């Protein structure tokens, strides 16, 4: 994260915590279930943010490839 989306400060976030998140993906024609670790950072302004990998849809259990498969 280059800047805080709340206060706009650059490079002011540090690692704060982490949590596990379940993810359903679609690999080789089958749904695959994963548990991934999501890193949380905290800004100097006090707000925390989750750093989500690109393959995760926020507020959803399904990965991008699983949703792409459902829509086709």
The string of pLDDT tens digits covering residues 17-39 is 999 988 887 778 788 888 889 99
Q: What is the pLDDT of residue 41?
A: 92
User: CA nearest 50: which of 3, 1, 12?
Assistant: 1
Contacts of 68 (CB under 8 A, 6+ apart): 26
The pTM (predicted TM-score) of the whole model is 0.68
**Rounded CA separation 66/72 (Å):** 10
Name residue 48's beta-bridge partners: 42
């Amino acid at each position: 994260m280059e800047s805080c989306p709340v206060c706009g400060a650059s490079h002011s976030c540090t690692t704060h915590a982490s949590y596990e998140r379940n993810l359903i993906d679609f690999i080789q024609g089958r749904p695959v279930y994963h548990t991934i670790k999501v890193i949380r950072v905290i800004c100097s302004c006090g707000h925390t943010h989750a750093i989500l990998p690109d393959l995760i849809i926020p507020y959803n259990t399904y990965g991008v490839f699983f949703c792409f498969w459902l829509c086709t």
